[in-house]
Amino acid sequence: MNFKSIFKIEMMLIFISTISFAQNPLIQDQYTADPSARVFGDRVYVFPSHDILATEGKGRKDWFCMEDYHVFSSANLTDWTDHGMIVQQNKVPWVKPDSYSMWAPDCIERNGKYYFYFPSTPKDTINYKKGFTVGVAIADKPEGPYIPEPNPIKGIRGIDPNVFIDKDNQAYLYWSSGNVFVAKLKENMTELDSEVKTIENLPTKGLKEGPYLFERNGIYYLTYPHVENKIERLEYATADNPLGPFKVAGVIMDESPTGCWTNHQSIIEFKKEWYLFYHHNDLSPQFDKARSIRADYLHFNPDGSIQKVIPTLRGVGITMATDQIQIDRYSKMSDKGISNSFLDSSNSFMGWKTTFNQANSWMQYNTVDFGYKKLKSVSIKAFSEKGGAIQIRTKGIDGSVIAEVTVPKNSKWVEVKSPLLKFDSGIQNLFVVSKEDNQVEIDWIKFQ
């Protein structure tokens, strides 16, 4: 390969792979939903649905609208790379090309091949009448390129495929259509190898969908969103084998506090921690069919039961002190004098800001890595019409003051820099405290 073609390939990779630094939601430059997280090698790959807004001639108004899939990956759960589009509705031979119904997918590795399962509306309305079926696309690498099989998998009517390979190498495919169904998969991963079985003993009242099965210490956990009340919450049932019988075991996450009707989960262990991936509608609070994926830590009790996960904005992973720290993705904040809102209410992809308007109001942002090489200053992107002052502390709300930043009176956003008064190395929790009643807005904080 000559220099010119290597350069061309490198430029293409730069073009298709974009990096974002995120807390919750994980991806902030597009809508993402139904995250299926997988550990492949030393990275976490997330295969979500890709919500877009329906427009004239594109999808159904006020409904889910999805035309393709992207895959994202991260080595630290903080920095996410978008590897670009992997499957598109008009490039899959069996999919109705204008159905905008590329719903919740999943992916698994077997013998060095990556099998990406996705539901959609088939072109063939004679055999399928209406509704969804499931197909598979195959790649040599998790980020693709994926080649879709020409036909969907025979014998499936439904959505939300989830694939699991047991310790004996038998693969299983789960999916939903009101209830949850399972069948064995052949070694080729593209055909069913058993009768379809309905998973019994799950709640009979209320929609169940989005199955995701994993195994830990011999317990098989079948997790699923269920409408027990008005909208979905995440529940689970357990069994001692992948086909059941399962026994309902509890709730993993309550209904979305922002009223997002759907939720959809996956659970992985990565570097000795367990994580729940799910979605809310952070970037689209008024329309819950434009969703955003999130992750939070998940913990087990000694008896193997799952502790309820409370959704956070801070999410998971470590933030480098030298990156722009979005304090609006906070861990805790004072009861009064502080709020978060979009930077630009007409474009949520611009992100959020924090507004302080009372002396001693504070924001706590956990797990910031200051490293061991002395940092000397801090910059804040801020806005204050009357001018204000901010203190940054570590070691608790009454702990060491590491910087004091005066935000000058201004009619536009400015970057203000101040020297560090003290350097605390390693991982620290940050406390940002307003020193005056004057209103100060902060976009980000960054140390140098």
Catalytic residues: 34, 209
Task: In angstroms, give the least distance from the CB of 263 to ligand FUB.
Answer: 7
User: Pattern of binders to ligand FUB over 278-297, x per CB under 6 A?
Assistant: --------------------
Residue 103 binds to ligand FUB (criterion: CB under 6 A): yes
Nearest to 314 by CA among 351, 365, 274: 365
Site string for ligand FUB, 139-168 (x = CB under 6 A): --------------------xx--------
Minimum Å gap between C-beta 296 and ligand FUB is: 18
How many other C-beta atoms are found inside a 10 Å radius of the C-beta of residue 50?
A: 20
Residues 6+ apart with CB under 8 A from 432: 327, 354, 362, 363, 365, 390, 391, 392, 393, 442, 445
Q: Does 67 bind ligand FUB (CB under 6 A)?
A: no
Figure out which of the listed residues 22, 27, 33, 405 binds ligand FUB, where binding follows CB under 6 A: 33
CA distance 441 to 327: 11
Question: Nearer Cβ to ligand FUB, position 175 or 362?
Answer: 175
Q: What is the DSSP letter of 89?
A: G
DSSP assignment of 102-118 equals ----EEEEETTEEEEEE
36 binds ligand FUB (CB under 6 A): no
Closest CA to 106 of 38, 17, 28: 38
Cα–Cα distances in angstroms (integers) from residue 397 to residues 168, 340, 382, in the given order: 52, 19, 21
Cis peptide before 285 (omega within 30 of 0): no
**Of 102 and 432, CB closest to ligand FUB:** 102
> Can residue 264 be called a binding residue for ligand FUB (CB under 6 A)?
yes
DSSP designation for 264: -
Q: Is 262 in the site for ligand FUB (CB under 6 A)?
A: yes
CA quadruple 23, 28, 33, 34: dihedral positive or negative? negative
Which residue in 24, 34, 65, 405 binds ligand FUB (CB under 6 A)? 34
Least CB distance to ligand FUB at residue 232 (A):
8
Give the total residue count for the chain.
448
210 or 242: CB nearest ligand FUB: 210
Q: Does 224 bind ligand FUB (CB under 6 A)?
A: no
Closer CB to ligand FUB, residue 70 or residue 264?
264
Which of 67, 209, 235, 255 lies at the binding interface for ligand FUB (CB under 6 A)?
209
Contact 296, 277 (CB under 8 A): no
* Contact by Cβ (8 Å): 387, 408: yes
Q: Of 130 and 167, which CB lies nearer to ligand FUB in the complex structure?
A: 130
210 in contact with ligand FUB (CB under 6 A):
yes
DSSP 3-state assignment of 419?
strand
Is residue 322 within a helix (H) or strand (E), and if so which, with residue range?
A: none
**Token pair 């259509």: residue:** 177
State the minimum distance, in angstroms, from the CB of residue 210 to ligand FUB. 4
330-389: contacts with ligand FUB (CB under 6 A): none
Please check whether residue 293 is in contact with residue 35, taking contact to mean a CB–CB distance below 8 angstroms.
Answer: yes
Q: Give 3: exposed, middle or buried? Use CB within 10 Å, 0-12, 13-18, 19+.
A: exposed
Kindly state the smallest distance separating residue 67's Cβ from ligand FUB, in Å.
13
Q: Compose the 173-192 pattern: x for residues touching ligand FUB by CB under 6 A, - for all others.
A: --------------------
| Interface with ligand FUB: number of residues (CB under 6 A) | 12
Tokens 């004091």 sit on residue: 404
Is 183 or 293 the residue whose CB approaches ligand FUB more closely?
293
Element holding 413 (H helix, E strand) = none
Report the chain's terminal Cα–Cα distance, integer Å.
41
In this complex, which beta carbon is closest to ligand FUB, that of residue 283 or of residue 378?
283
Pairing between β-strand 319-320 and β-strand 362-369 as defined by DSSP bridges: parallel
- Is residue 99 at the binding interface for ligand FUB, with CB under 6 A as the rule? no
CB of 132 to ligand FUB, least distance (A): 9
Shortest distance, position 264 Cβ to ligand FUB, whole Å: 4
Q: Which of 104, 137, 380, 440 binds ligand FUB (CB under 6 A)?
A: 104
Strand partners, 40: 43
Residue 278 and residue 225: Cα distance in Å, rounded? Answer: 10
Closer Cβ to ligand FUB, 159 or 321, answer by number = 159
CB of 222 to ligand FUB, least distance (A): 15
The answer to whether 315 contacts ligand FUB (rule: CB under 6 A) is no
Q: Binding residues for ligand FUB, per CB under 6 A?
A: 33-34, 49, 64, 103-104, 159-160, 209-210, 262, 264
